[in-house]
Amino acid sequence: MSEIVTETSNNGIQNFEPIVRYQKVSKSFGDTEVIKELDLDVAPAEKIGIIGPSGSGKTTLIRMLMTLEKPTSGTIEVDGELLWHKRVNGNLVPADEKHLRKVRSKVGMIFQQFNLFPHMTMLRNVTEAPIHVLGLSREEAEERAITMLEKVGLKDKLDQYPRQLSGGQQQRVAIARALVMNPKIMLFDEVTSALDPELVEEVLAVIKEIALEGNMTMLLVTHEMQFAREIADRIVFINGGTIIEQGPPEEIFENPKHERTQNFLRRFNKKN
Amino acid sequence: MPFLLKGVVVTIELTVMAAILAFIMAFIAGFARLSKFAIVRGITQIYVEIFRGTSLLVQLFWVYFVLPFFGIELSAMMTGVLVLGLNYGAYASEVIRSSILAIPKGQTEAGIALNMSPSLIMKRIILPQAMLIMLPPLGNYLIELIKSTALVSLITLHDLMFCGTMINNVTMRTIEVYSLVLIIYFLLAYPLTLAIRRLEKRLSAGRL
């Protein structure tokens, strides 16, 4: 199955100190190996669009970075620190909860299903973690939250509950909730896949705005090819748990070298 | 009638204390069943199965009449609280466990993504939502508990049922006495039903 040799990252961005580094990362669920010895370096502030067929492992890839899935083998580094391991006397040992929480604080994630807290108003959804995780005062947390909710265009919905909002609005609140924690790296897991088509635009516009601000590292798993092309510095095509091809968007979309990439994009264009 | 009221007080006392014990046991056992340690789950499972698998009345008799042979003598009230509490705790632990499991995994994941600690996620994200699910079945158990307390009259505790029977034995006005006892049990249980319904409404504010 794995006759493909993964190309190492010769994609224009070179000589950087990676903010995220996957090294020989594998992940199996039972007997199924979804990620196979994958290597990937991400530069600070880089925007990476991760594309590939469903079941290719692209969501698992970012879920491991959010510590939602534990790699079966290999290491992941975030900002120079091992994520799932600790170095004790030169040996790698599994990280404890304390270490995980420390490294994890640099990462945030937006989910396909929004995952807002249904028992909290929009404002409380956004202030919950700043108050109870960062230890901010309620006033300070609310001030920050309102700034963020304003940024996503939802300042007038503070006292509403998730059920009272459209999917697009919910997802924008979820973005504000993640932003307020000020992560260096933001992960987007097919964030528009659960939305009605007419609501996709408003969410993409918000993400684009964040991307244009520049300093946040972003990994976007997406099926929105046009969008990925617009905002990504690099496209990574994954199939069967390995990176088949990667490079600048123009190159991948217009001139894909690998047969599997060509097939995937052809099928994709046909569908749309 | 004053005699009957004394019985009502005993029934209420017994219910409140047994309910508190049941509630504590239910939470402990409910969480223990979700433990990552197999031995904790195993012990809890044994507790739940023993109390679920045997008759409440036999449990009462056993604790009250058999335990003294092993040197453990408990008052009728203690026996009632202990047996009812452990019994309903065993049943209710299933409710606690299943309502926690019913909260979508995405909620926990959102908490992790916001770097919340496991206990914070449980306390502020999972439990408030699980409460809403567990409330109706827990309310049911509470009402059943009130009615089950009548069984303790058989181990000589002077509760409502016991007093009713005593009065009946003296007056022989069977129809009036037992009808009155019936009504009093209803009057004890029904306000609880209403209270639980109101609590449910309050907890679900904005969510439906």
Q: HSE (CB half, 13 Å, CA atoms) of B106? A: 13
| Tens digits of residue pLDDT in A18-36 | 999 999 999 999 999 999 9
| Tens digits of residue pLDDT in B149-174 | 888 888 888 888 888 888 988 888 88
d(CA A73, CA A75) in angstroms, rounded, equals 7
- Confidence check: pLDDT of A13 > 70: no
Strand order across the beta sheet in which A185-189 lies? A107-110, A185-189, A217-221, A47-51, A234-239, A242-247
Measured in degrees and rounded to the nearest 5, phi and psi for residue B166 equal: -60, -50
- Going along chain B from its start, the domains and CATH numbers come out as 2-204 (1.10.3720.10)
Residue of A nearest to B206 (CA): A161
pTM, to two decimals: 0.84
Burial-class residue A26 by CB neighbours within 10 Å (0-12, 13-18, 19+).
middle
Which one of B36, B99, B115, B135 would you mutate to disrupt binding with A, by most A Cβ within 10 Å of its Cβ? B115
Token code pair at residue B166: 């005593």
Assess contact for A226 and A249: CB atoms under 8 A. no
Residue of A nearest to B202 (CA): A119
Please give, rounded to a whole number of angstroms, the shortest distance from the CA of B97 to a CA of chain A.
20
Regarding predicted confidence, which is higher, A8 or A85?
A85
- Asked if A163 lies within 8 A of B207 by C-beta distance, the reply is yes
d(CA A271, CA A266) in angstroms, rounded, equals 9
Measured in degrees and rounded to the nearest 5, phi and psi for residue A107 equal: -120, 140
Token code pair at residue B81: 């609280």
Predicted ipTM > 0.90: no
Q: Which contiguous run of DSSP H or E holds residue A27?
A: strand A20-29
Q: How far is CA A197 from CA A51, A113, B91, in A?
A: 19, 15, 47
Tens place of pLDDT for every residue, chain B, 208 residues? Answer: 778 888 888 889 899 999 999 999 999 999 999 988 999 999 999 999 999 889 999 999 999 999 889 988 888 888 999 999 999 999 999 999 999 999 999 999 999 999 999 999 999 999 999 998 998 899 989 999 988 888 888 888 888 888 888 898 888 888 988 998 899 999 988 998 899 888 888 877 656 5
